[in-house]
Structure 1
Amino acid sequence: MDIIWLTLAGFILLAYTLEAITGFGSIVIALSLGALLLPIDQLLPVLVPLNICMTGYLVWRHRQMIDRPLLLSMILPGMVVGTLIGYALLPWLNAALAKRLFGALVLWFAARELWRLRHAAVQPVRPLWLSRLLSLCAGISHGLFASGGPLLVLALAGTQLDKARLRATLVTVWFSLNSLLTVAFLLDGRLLPALPQVLSYAPLLLIGVWLGERLHRRFNEQHFRIAIYLLLLVTGGLLLVAGH
Structure 2
Amino acid sequence: MDPWILLAIFVFVAYSIEAITGFGSIVIALSLGALLLPIEAMLPVLVPLNICMTGYLLARHHQHIHWPTLLKLILPLMVSGTLAGYLLRPWLGDQLLQLLFGALVVWFAGRELLRAYRGLSSRRHGVLWTRGWMLGAGITHGLYASGGPLLVYALTGTQLDKAAFRATLITVWFSLNSLLTVVFAIDGSLYPALPKVAAIAPVLVAGVVVGEYLHHRVDEQRFRNVVYALLLFTGSLLIITGF
User: Same fold, TM exceeding 0.5?
Assistant: yes
* Aligned residues between the structures: 243
What CA distance in whole angstroms lies between the structure 2 residues aligned with 1:204 and 1:165? 29
Deviates more, 1:112-121 or 1:125-134: 125-134
What CA distance in whole angstroms lies between the structure 1 residues aligned with 2:179 and 2:240? 32
Indicate the residue corresponding to 1:131 in structure 2.
Answer: 130
4+ runs deviating over 6 angstroms: none
Q: For the Cα contact (< 8 Å) 1:18–1:24, is it kept in 2?
A: yes
Indicate the residue corresponding to 1:159 in structure 2.
Answer: 158
Indicate the residue corresponding to 1:181 in structure 2.
Answer: 180
Cα displacement (A) at 1:22:
3.8
Deviations 1:108-151 (A, max 9, x none): 11000000111111110111221111110000000001110110
Cα displacement (A) at 1:215:
4.1
TM-score (norm 2): 0.95
Cα displacement (A) at 1:158:
0.6
RMSD of aligned C-alpha atoms? 1.5
Percent identity over the alignment is 62
What CA distance in whole angstroms lies between the structure 2 residues aligned with 1:20 and 1:134? 26
Indicate the residue corresponding to 2:87 in structure 1.
Answer: 88
TM-score (norm 1): 0.95
Q: For the Cα contact (< 8 Å) 2:21–2:224, is it kept in 1?
A: no
| Amino acid across the alignment from 2:120 | A
Deviations 1:29-52 (A, max 9, x none): 100000000000001011000000
Deviates more, 1:80-89 or 1:17-26: 17-26
Partner of 2:2: helix, strand, or coil? helix
Deviations 1:74-124 (A, max 9, x none): 211111110010001011011111100000000111000000111111110
Q: For the Cα contact (< 8 Å) 2:64–2:164, is it kept in 1?
A: yes
| Amino acid across the alignment from 1:55 | T
Gaps of 5+ in 1: none
* 1:69–1:218 Cα change, 3 Å: farther
Cα displacement (A) at 1:218:
4.8
